[in-house]
Chain A
């Protein structure tokens, strides 16, 4: 029987390559580090919904939905340019006059108020076309190849020809600096009304996960807690006390001393009494959020003497 030489060569080569690979790549087996166990609470979608849901009795925080009406698409007005009533505004704010250098040419085409400039009030900021529809103005100015967006900004330049640099700041005229134009806000409109007619977003229990009241509560109790022990071992003293609260933030029952720790039993006991007094002394804790009563109706606390001189 004749052996196919190429087959033999192929087998030999394969064996060689695989054998080489086995030897050279097997240097060290890959060791995966043992993953550290991490505690995880498994909660169902149902529970998540409960956490984030609002409460029927919750206060309505935003009586108006964001969108008040449905409107046709409107070109958005340029609020700045929308001037309903022209008024002389005397200001000191305008004066740094860099524009004159840049746009001397553009200024010329605006002739409207030469008179105004002659008047004793030199600093008229609004020589611009007074009662003009902004849109029309926009169109006009586009035709005139003027920079449309800032009619006011353009208004300032006319001064340079008039060398009246002296501006006096008159305190009594501060009122004049105020923008007296009518508010330009209109109902915010959109394509659709706000879909969530909210039931008390602020009453949702979602924020119960944020321990906002805890810091306030600790600070309130601390205000009344004081104990005079000042031995070297003072940081070893600790008292565990459980507190039960009513919905109005008052203490429902005598605080219960769960445990006392420290080098001296008599000192620790006295400290426990002091802590109980502090809790009762500083009630009622009316600032605790009523909607989260379940989280604070029962508060376990530990009183220590750390950081006290």
Chain B
């Protein structure tokens, strides 16, 4: 009542011109998200030979921003002004006319020493101001990487959040007939380009995970004996067994500092969580239950661990301190499917845990807060599994198997549940793991 009195009084005063302003700020909240229209004309060629790389960089940037779902790149055919010089301000009116809100101009120039110079400017079309501008030097074969870095700059400047384009994905490439699948570890850029195979496919590999340094991968491999957890160095191609345990070791993952690997060790019919220090090789037991504890994942600050356990009957997600201790169940199926939860992974942003949910004959990918609240299903279907977060915690990648004679493929989806996209891979693909940002 008192507040209302203030309001009325305020507007009365304003009405009489005694005060030039409204007493109360008008509150505006968006109703629904719309992608930002952005114009990305081809990068200008600094010399006649650079036209091709300029177009290539532009296409990579356009593709990145488009796939993010946050931007709506405008078709180049609609452009009115042709950018020929990036050192003068563009004709903003002609970009306003096609409803662009942001404009990217750039130039690629081959230097005398053989390196490639990339320059770009990001303009706010409505205000006519330059929002950011950078230049980079690189050897010509890394032009895609430059395009990803520029994409990240644009993304970060316009959203305020770190980008995720300059990152890689390690996954299991599957080829051959269904009953004799060959599974190889493969590495690619997040947009599906530059695929490299890391193993030959003679042994079965599963659950590859990136180290924070992005130079190493840990994964599980079925060799001659029991499945074991391995470390693999991307640069040197060397691999080594993590620890020397009797029985099976599986579902490994790096700690956020990269110094430790946490994994499951089989003990009889049960499995428990262990963490191994990679330098001292010392191993610490974290759980001791007559149940299957697996799929551990650290919180980004390293203080807690989420993992999957069937100690309550069905597989559910639990959270406990990183050094072990009492675990708290956080997953509770709220619908009538009475579903089970598995493969939890903590977002690098710390705010969500992604999971696979099984129930009602469906496999779903979802996220929930670390206290178990705010569950949101992002996608549902015959078989969806193995979520992994983009470095900025904004996008989740997972694999989907449609059933039948086909095979799995990789997909991304925004944590809002919007913008599901298939990730191009050479063949069938499963078990993706997203790297941190490379730079």
A interface residues (Cβ-Cβ under 8 A, vs B): 36, 38-41, 43, 47, 50-51, 205, 208-209, 211, 214, 217-218, 221-222, 225-233, 240, 254, 264, 266-271, 273-277, 280-281, 292, 294-309
**Chain B residues near A217 (CB-CB < 8 A):** 26
- Counting residue pairs across A and B whose Cβ atoms lie within 8 Å, the total is 152
**Can you pick out 13 interface pairs between chain A and chain B where the beta carbons lie within 8 Å of each other?**
A225-B30, A228-B36, A228-B159, A230-B415, A240-B25, A264-B161, A277-B101, A296-B22, A298-B20, A299-B21, A304-B29, A305-B29, A308-B31
From residue B41, how far is it (CB to closest CB) to chain A in Å? 20
Q: Which of A230, A297, A302, A305 has the most CB of B within 10 A?
A: A230
B215 sits at the interface (CB 8 A): no
Given A228-B159, A229-B159, check contact A221 B28 (CB 8 Å): yes
Q: Give Cα A231 to B36, complex, Å.
A: 18
Asked if residues A211 and B29 are in contact (CB atoms below 8 Å), the reply is no
In the complex, chain B residues 138-191 whose Cβ is within 8 Å of any chain A Cβ: 156-161
Q: Give Cα A300 to B416, complex, Å.
A: 31
| Contact segment of B2-10, B229-237, B316-324, B355-363 | B2-10
| Contact segment of B11-19, B239-247, B254-262, B266-274 | B11-19
Q: Which of A217, A227, A228, A298 has the most CB of B within 10 A?
A: A228
A231-B349, A270-B159 known, 7 other contacts, Cβ within 8 Å: A39-B2, A41-B12, A51-B12, A209-B11, A232-B351, A300-B22, A307-B29
Please pick, from B8, B26, B127, the residue contacting A302 in the complex, using a CB distance under 8 A.
B26
B18: nearest residue on chain A (CB-CB)? A47
Give the 4 A-B CB pairs with smallest separation, nearest first: A270-B160, A267-B160, A208-B15, A41-B9
Q: Give Cα A174 to B251, complex, Å.
A: 82
Q: Which of B8, B27, B29 has the most CB of A within 10 A?
A: B29
B126 sits at the interface (CB 8 A): yes
Asked if residues A232 and B352 are in contact (CB atoms below 8 Å), the reply is yes
Q: Which of A41, A218, A229, A299 has the most CB of B within 10 A?
A: A41
Q: Which of A40, A43, A217, A227 has the most CB of B within 10 A?
A: A227
Given A229-B160, A264-B160, A300-B21, check contact A308 B32 (CB 8 Å): yes
Dominant secondary structure at the B interface = loop
Given A209-B11, A301-B25, check contact A232 B33 (CB 8 Å): no
In the complex, chain B residues 277-306 whose Cβ is within 8 Å of any chain A Cβ: none
From residue A232, how far is it (CB to closest CB) to chain B in Å? 5
**Chain B residues near A274 (CB-CB < 8 A):** 36, 158
From residue A279, how far is it (CB to closest CB) to chain B in Å? 9
B329 sits at the interface (CB 8 A): no
From residue A253, how far is it (CB to closest CB) to chain B in Å? 11
Asked if residues B16 and A50 are in contact (CB atoms below 8 Å), the reply is yes
**Chain B residues near A39 (CB-CB < 8 A):** 2, 5-6, 9
B194 sits at the interface (CB 8 A): no
Q: Give Cα A298 to B21, complex, Å.
A: 6
Q: Give Cα A205 to B36, complex, Å.
A: 40
Asked if residues A280 and B159 are in contact (CB atoms below 8 Å), the reply is no
Q: Give Cα A230 to B396, complex, Å.
A: 14
